[in-house]
A and B are shown apart, each in its own frame.
Chain A
Amino acid sequence: MRIVAASPLALQAGMAPGMGLADARAQLPDLAIFDLDRAADTVWLDRIADGCARYTPMVALDGVDGLILDISGCAHLFGGEAGLRADLIGRLRRLGMTVRAALAETPDAAHAQARYGRDVGAMPVEALELPPEDMIALRRAGLKRVDDLTARPSAPLAARFGEVATDRLVRVAGGRDIHISPRRPEPALVIERGFAEPLGHVTAMLAALAQLAEEAARRMQETHRGGRRFEAQLFRTDGLVRSLGIETGLPTREVPLLMRLFDERIATLHDPIDPGFGFDLVRLSVPLLEPLDPFQLRLEGGSVADDEIARLVDRLSTRLGHGRVRRYAPRDSHIPEQAMLVFPAIAPRPTSPWPAPTPGEPPLRPVQLFDPPQLIEVVAGIPDGPPRQFRWRRTLYEVMRAEGPERIGALWWRRADNQGLSRDYYRVEDRHGHRFWLFRHGIYEREAASPRWYLHGLFA
C-alpha cells in the first residue's frame, strides 16, 4: 500500500505521496490513515465545481484533484482577479480544504503553476507531465528544470521525446491557449441575484426566486421565447450549491406556474433544503429557449384546452416523478408484454395509430396484464389440450369455455443458443363468467416434458 495524498502537516513531517505505507508507519507510528475513496472524492469535487459556478459558467474538472475556471470577463464582478481568487480561496478554506490557486493566461499554465510554483522557468521537468520513462531520461540527461529545456533548440527534444514533449513545453509556458470544455453547456438564459446579507429562510429564497422568474419571463416575452426546463441554483455562503430542476411538457414563461412547480419540487425533496449560513446568490437558468408566441386565447378555446391537460401533467410529473405519469404507444412486437411502449407523458413523442380490432370479434387481449406472468397449477384433460381447471391465488377455477391455443413463438433469434419456449395461449371463462388469459410455457414433449402454466392477464 502506498500513500496517495498527504496533508500539509504530514508533508512537513517527511511523508510524501508515493511512499510505502510501511515506511511511513516506521517513521511516524501514529500516522492517521484513510483508505482512498475515488468515488467520494469525485462527488466532492463535483460539488465544489457546482459551487464555483457562481464565478463563471466555464468550470471544468482538472484531473482528480483540480478545477479550472475560465474567468475571462467575470473577474470585475468580484473586485478584480485578485478579489475573485481571494473570495474563492476563502470559501474553500472555510469548508476545510487546502487550496492552491494560480492565475494564468492559459489553462495549462494555470494547471502547472498551481502545482509546481509560480515561476515557469524554475519548475521541475515533472511539470510537463510526460510519461515516467521520459522523465527519467530527462533527469539522466541533467535536464532538471523547465529552464533547461526552453534554453535549448526544440528540434532535438522533439526528435528524442516526440512532438508531445515540445507541445507540453509550449503549453506549460503559456504559449498556446486552448479552450476548456465546461462541465455543463452554457444555459441560454441566466438570471441571478446576489445578496450582501445571506437569505437564511427558504421562504425568502422563494420570494427572490419569484423575482428572478419574473425577470426571466420578461426577457423571454421580448424575444417570444419560452423554456421547458428551468433550474434554480442556490449558492450557500460556504461555497456549496443546491440545485432544483423543474420541467414542463410545453414551453412556458408563466411565473405562477413555475413557482408552483418549484413548490412541488421542494415538497418532494428527500432531504429538505438546508440554508446553512444562508444563500448569498440565487440563480435561475433556462438551458434551452424554444419559440413561444405571445399568449392568445382562441375563441373556440382549442389551444387552451390542451394547455390545461399539459399543466396537469407537469404538476403531477414534478410531484410524483416523470416515470409515474405515463402514456402508451404501440410497439411492433408479437410478444404480448412488449406490444406496448410506456413513455412519460411530459415528454410527448409522435406515435403511430393503434391497429383497429376486427369488427365482430370478441376481445382477444386482456385489459390487465401481469408482468411477469403468474404461475398457476392446471389440470388439463390431455397434456397439450386446453385447461380443465386451475388454481390461482389459492382459489380453484373451473374452466367452462376455452379458445386456443394461440401459439406465440419465443424470440429464439435473439438468443445465443437459439432456444426459448413457445407459449400456447388460451382464452378461458370459468363457471361464473370470469375470463382469463392463460398460457402453457413450452410445447408438450417437443420443448418441455411437463410444461408449466401461467396466468398472463384478465379480461373485462
Chain B
Amino acid sequence: MHDSTYKLATLRARIGAIEGGKPSGSAALFALGHDRLDARLGGGIARGRLHELFAADPVDQSSVTGFALMLAMRLGSDPFVWLRQDGGVRSSGELYAPGLIDLGCDPARIIEVQVPDETALLRAAGDAVRCQQLAAVLIEPWKGARAFDLTASRRLSIAAEKSGVTVLALRSAADPGPSAAYTRWRVRAIPSQVLEAGAPGLATIEITLLRHRGGIAAFHQRLEWDRDQAIFHEPPLSGAVVPVPAGGSFAAGPARRRAG
C-alpha cells in the first residue's frame, strides 16, 4: 500500500517533468473588481498564464485593445510590454497616449515594441515573458498569424508560468484556433450608457468566456469600465436607472442580460 502510493507519486513527478510546466491548479488570481464576474471566475483571472482575446467583429478591435488595457491596469502598476506587428499598426492605428490616460492607464508604464513580422513577434515575446518585473506582456499578432500556433502558444504559456508574467494575446483579426491559452475571451463593443445631450458614455463592452482551462463554463458578461476607480461595473440597462446591486444573485444574471 505504502509502496504503491510512493510509486504513483514518482510516476506523477516523472510525467510532470516530461510535460514541463503543466498548468497547476493553484494559479494566483487577479480580481476584475466586479463581484459577480469575479465570483463566477472563482476569484478572478489567473496571473502568469496566457489569455487570448478575440474580437467579435474586426471593427471591435479597439474594444479588444481597451479590454487588454483594463486587464493590464488590474494587474498592478508595473511597466508592461506591448508588442505590435507592423501590419496591425497600419490597419488599426497607433496607440494614442492621451486616450490611454482617458482609460486610466499611465502611458509611462508602457514599453511599446513594433516588430516587422510574426517570427520577430514571438521571439520578442519569449524574451519579454521571462522578464519578471513586468506586470504583463501584450502581444498583438496580425491577422491569421499562422506562426502563433499550438506550439508557440504552449511555449509562451510555459514561460509565463515560470516567470509569473501574464500574457495577453490580442487577436482581433483571427479566429480561435488550437492554442494553449488558459482562458479565451471574445470581446465586442456594446452601446454605452448615454450621457446628457445624447453623448456617448463610458467604455462599455460585452465579454464572452469561450474557454477556461479550469473548467468554468462559457458565459457572457456586460461590463462598463470605471476609470476613476479602475474597476468594472455592470452597465445599467438602457432606460434603467438603478444600478445592479453589488453581489447580486447568480440566477438573476443571465436572465437580465438576455432581456437587455
A316-B124, A340-B97, A403-B200 known; A367 and B65 CB under 8 Å?
yes
Q: How far is the CA of A228 from the CA of B100 in the complex (A)?
A: 32
Could you say which of B67, B189, B200 contacts A362, with CB atoms under 8 Å apart? B200
Q: How far is the CA of A309 from the CA of B199 in the complex (A)?
A: 41
Interface residues of A in 321-368 (CB under 8 A from B): 324-328, 330, 336, 339-340, 342, 345, 351, 354-357, 359-368
CB of B62 within 8 Å of the partner chain? yes
Q: How far is the CA of A345 from the CA of B111 in the complex (A)?
A: 7
* Of A26-34, A413-421, A425-433, the one with at least 4 CB within 8 A of chain B: A425-433
Name the residue of chain A whose CB is nearest to the CB of B229: A359
Are A460's CB and B199's CB within 8 A? no
Could you say which of A325, A351, A428, A431 contacts B200, with CB atoms under 8 Å apart? A428
CB of B175 within 8 Å of the partner chain? no
Are B198's CB and A363's CB within 8 A? no
Residues of B within 8 A of A12 (CB): none
Q: How far is the CA of A428 from the CA of B192 in the complex (A)?
A: 11
Could you say which of B108, B124, B198, B202 contacts A402, with CB atoms under 8 Å apart? B198
Are B97's CB and A432's CB within 8 A? no
Q: How far is the CA of A447 from the CA of B238 in the complex (A)?
A: 39
Chain A contact surface mostly: mixed
A320-B124, A369-B94 known; A434 and B203 CB under 8 Å?
no
Q: How far is the CA of A325 from the CA of B127 in the complex (A)?
A: 13
Q: Mark B41-61, 1 if CB is under 8 A from A, else 0.
A: 000000000000000010111
CB of A37 within 8 Å of the partner chain? no
Residues of B within 8 A of A313 (CB): 111
Closest chain-B Cβ to A56's Cβ sits at a distance in Å of: 40
Could you say which of A336, A354, A367, A395 contacts B103, with CB atoms under 8 Å apart? A367
Interface centre among B97, B116, B127 (most CB of A within 10 A): B97
Are B203's CB and A457's CB within 8 A? no
Q: Mark B142-153, 1 if CB is under 8 A from A, else 0.
A: 000000000000
Residues of A within 8 A of B65 (CB): 367-368, 460
Closest chain-A Cβ to B201's Cβ sits at a distance in Å of: 5
Are B191's CB and A433's CB within 8 A? yes
* Of B24-32, B129-137, B241-249, B252-260, the one with at least 4 CB within 8 A of chain A: B129-137
Closest chain-B Cβ to A348's Cβ sits at a distance in Å of: 11
Residues of A within 8 A of B127 (CB): 312, 315-316
A315-B127, A345-B111, A460-B62 known; A401 and B198 CB under 8 Å?
yes
Are A308's CB and B133's CB within 8 A? yes
Q: Please provide the 4 A-B residue pairs with the shortest distance between their CB atoms, ordered closest to farther.
A: A460-B66, A403-B199, A458-B62, A363-B102
Q: Which residues of A contact B (CB under 8 A)?
A: 305-306, 308-309, 311-313, 315-316, 319-320, 324-328, 330, 336, 339-340, 342, 345, 351, 354-357, 359-371, 395, 400-403, 427-429, 431-435, 457-460
28 residue pairs A–B, Cβ–Cβ below 8 Å? A312-B81, A319-B120, A325-B112, A326-B114, A328-B97, A354-B98, A356-B101, A362-B102, A362-B195, A366-B62, A366-B96, A367-B62, A367-B65, A367-B95, A368-B95, A370-B93, A401-B191, A401-B194, A403-B199, A403-B200, A429-B200, A432-B190, A432-B191, A433-B189, A435-B200, A457-B93, A458-B92, A460-B66
